[in-house]
Amino acid sequence: MEYVRTTVDSPRLYDIFDIPPKLRGKMVEVIIMPLENNISETRKIKSESAFGCLKKYADPALVSLEEGAWERATVERYANH
56 found inside a domain: yes
11 found inside a domain: yes
42 found inside a domain: no
Q: In the chain, how many domains are there?
A: 1
Domain range spanning residue 16?
Answer: 4-34+50-78
10 found inside a domain: yes
Does the reported pTM lie above 0.85?
no
Buried/exposed code over 50-66 (b: 16+ C-beta within 10 A; e: otherwise): eeeeeeeeeeeeeeeee
44 found inside a domain: no
16-19 CB contacts, 8 Å cutoff, 24+ apart? none
25 found inside a domain: yes
More confident residue, 5 or 38: 5
Q: Report how far residue 23's alpha carbon sits from residue 49's, in angstroms, rounded to the nearest whole number.
A: 27
**Is the model's pLDDT at 65 over the cut of 80?**
yes
8-28 pLDDT, tens digit per residue, is 999 999 988 889 999 999 999
69 found inside a domain: yes
Torsion-angle region of residue 46: left (phi > 0), alpha (psi -120 to 50) or beta?
alpha
25-55 pLDDT, tens digit per residue, is 999 999 999 887 655 555 555 555 666 777 7
